[in-house]
């Protein structure tokens, strides 16, 4: 059975829509909520293929839900309901990924037809995602660009990566968010004997816990409500190649022993399955957490940690390898020239000096995002970062007497997060992207510093 999430704060209209969809959409279950907060709770519990939402809601808007949906691994199709006054906003939403919009008053037949098209579009994209997972990095694919390694520390990192690539053992990558852990993982894959096979990536923090097991191990037809057909998990798709498990520190404790069994060669069962399946995937895991502390605190199994920690590489933050910044900037600008067909695009000289001294708390990801944002908003081909880069947050005055280095770092980090919250109107998704943090890590730090 397929699932639709209906978000409507008008009780009468909500009931009418729910009845219409339930009567006309065979094989579709409808969950109705009346707010953005209610939608968030429902999305943590289930994974609808389609979201039908009013543009204007009491505690936010359909645009908020559009942004939330874009961050979900399942990428549900979003349809907006709008009145004349908000038509311009609905049209704008199409540019940001909405499937379609319906203007009130709508015709029942047109609404049902639009919802059906949304389900078909989602199913087609789902099939394409499965095919893409099988073909990424196979022979004949575009070879990955040589990673930037102008800094001595980065050069040593990739020299070590070459040696680990040949070993075919599990690898654990550590480092702050945005440092390029997936780039290193793809590099190891490209230099290994598995280079002609699939490279499959899965972010353990991006998928709700109830769905993560199905993503890893797959499911049989009829295994649960909505399992209309057999679906292979990432371990099967990556067999013979490499499975990259990003944010492994976020893996729920209930799944950790199951992952350990696979790594120990005992195989796994699809959800609803009876036959043990084996996978010859090489595992590369990554985390921005202090994984040793997670193990010591009992939040991450020590036996799983030992199994993953056969080969270990730490990716330094960008502020510790500043020699990489000029070639990274050149590469990003060159990519933008081709992407936006602007061959004369270039970074201004003051901006070139700025990038070398900025703290870049979001690391390489922040550097790339800042350059692209400035390029898009620049009226000329010269990119000026002065208005678009995150200004370095001042060290709090009390820091001089704060005592330990850890206290200084925490005070500075709190100031950076506070500044980002103000600049992004407390939009957590935007703040997390700007700082290069996962949503879970941002929420943890907000609670830690009393900013939530």
d(CA 288, CA 181): 9
Q: Would the CATH topology of 2-132 be identical to that of 152-316?
A: yes
d(CA 185, CA 164): 11
pLDDT of residue 391: 47
Contact criterion met (CB below 8 Å) for 255 and 273 = no
pLDDT, the chain, mean: 84
Query: Is the dihedral angle over the CA atoms 125, 130, 133, 134 positive or is it negative?
Result: negative
Higher pLDDT, 451 or 292: 292
Contact criterion met (CB below 8 Å) for 304 and 256 = yes
pLDDT of residue 408: 56
Higher pLDDT, 228 or 363: 363
Backbone dihedral angles phi then psi of residue 120, each to the nearest 5 degrees: -65, -40
pLDDT of residue 285: 97
Q: What mean pLDDT comes out for the span 384-396?
A: 56
CA torsion 383-387-390-394 (nearest 10°) is 130
d(CA 45, CA 448): 26
d(CA 261, CA 272): 18
Q: Which fold has domain 394-452?
A: Arc Repressor Mutant, subunit A (1.10.10)
Strands (E) in 131-180, as ranges, are: 171-174
The radius of gyration of the chain's CA atoms, rounded to the nearest angstrom, is 24
Confidence (pTM) = 0.59
Contact criterion met (CB below 8 Å) for 75 and 82 = no
Is the per-residue pLDDT at 187 higher than 60? yes
Is the per-residue pLDDT at 410 higher than 50? yes
pLDDT of residue 267: 87
In the chain, where are the structural domains located?
2-132, 152-316, 318-392, 394-452
| 152-316: in CATH 3.40.50.300 | yes
**What DSSP letter does each residue of 272-302 carry, written as one string?**
T--S-B---PEEEEEESS-HHHHHHTTSS-H
Contact criterion met (CB below 8 Å) for 154 and 148 = yes
Q: Which two tokens stand for residue 268?
A: 């796994």
Which residues 6+ apart lie within 8 Å of 423 measured at CB? 390, 434
Cross-strand bridge partners of residue 243: 200, 283
Identify the architecture of domain 318-392 in CATH: Orthogonal Bundle (1.10)
Nearest residue to 360 (alpha-carbon basis) of 330, 336, 324, 335: 324
The string of pLDDT tens digits covering residues 69-96 is 887 767 889 999 887 656 666 666 776 6
d(CA 2, CA 4): 7
Identify the architecture of domain 2-132 in CATH: 3-Layer(aba) Sandwich (3.40)
């Amino acid at each position: 059975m397929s699932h639709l999430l209906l978000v409507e704060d008008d009780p009468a209209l909500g009931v009418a829509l729910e009845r219409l969809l339930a009567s006309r959409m065979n094989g579709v279950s409808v969950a109705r909520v009346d707010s953005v907060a209610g939608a968030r709770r429902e999305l943590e519990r289930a994974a609808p293929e389609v979201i039908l939402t009013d543009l204007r809601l009491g505690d936010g808007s359909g645009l908020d839900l559009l942004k939330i949906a874009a961050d979900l691994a399942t990428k549900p199709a979003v349809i907006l309901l709008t009145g004349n006054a908000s038509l311009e906003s609905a049209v704008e939403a199409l540019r940001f990924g909405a499937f379609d919009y319906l203007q009130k008053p709508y015709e029942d037949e047109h609404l049902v037809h639009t919802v059906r098209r949304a389900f078909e579009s989602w199913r087609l994209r789902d099939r394409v995602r499965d095919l893409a997972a099988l073909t990424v990095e196979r022979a004949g694919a575009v070879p990955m660009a040589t990673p930037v390694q102008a800094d001595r520390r980065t050069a040593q990192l990739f020299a070590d990566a070459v040696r680990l690539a040949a070993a075919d053992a599990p690898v654990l990558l550590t480092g702050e968010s945005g440092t390029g852990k997936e780039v290193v993982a793809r590099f190891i894959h490209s230099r290994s004997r598995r280079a002609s096979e699939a490279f499959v990536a899965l972010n353990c923090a991006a998928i709700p816990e109830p769905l993560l097991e199905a993503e890893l191990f797959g499911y049989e037809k009829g295994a649960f409500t909505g399992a209309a057909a057999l679906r292979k998990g990432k371990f099967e798709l990556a067999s013979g190649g490499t499975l990259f498990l990003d944010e492994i520190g976020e893996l729920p404790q209930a799944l950790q022993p199951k992952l350990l069994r696979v790594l120990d060669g005992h195989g796994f069962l699809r959800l609803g399955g009876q036959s043990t399946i084996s996978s010859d995937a090489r595992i590369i895991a990554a985390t921005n957490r202090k994984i040793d502390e997670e193990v010591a605190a009992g939040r991450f199994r020590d036996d799983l940690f030992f199994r993953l920690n056969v080969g270990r590489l730490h990716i330094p933050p960008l502020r510790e390898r500043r020699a990489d910044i000029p070639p990274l900037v050149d590469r990003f600008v060159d990519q933008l020239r081709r992407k936006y067909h602007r061959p004369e695009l270039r970074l201004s000289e003051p901006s070139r000096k700025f990038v070398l001294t900025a703290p870049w708390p979001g690391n390489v990801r922040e550097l790339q995002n800042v350059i692209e944002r400035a390029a898009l908003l620049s009226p000329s081909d010269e990119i000026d970062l002065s208005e678009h880069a995150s200004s370095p947050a001042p060290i709090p005055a009390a820091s001089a007497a704060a005592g330990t280095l850890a206290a200084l770092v925490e005070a500075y980090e709190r100031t950076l997060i506070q500044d980002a919250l103000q600049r992004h109107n407390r939009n957590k998704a935007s703040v997390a992207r700007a700082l290069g943090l996962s949503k879970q890590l941002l929420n943890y730090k907000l609670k830690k510093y009393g900013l939530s």
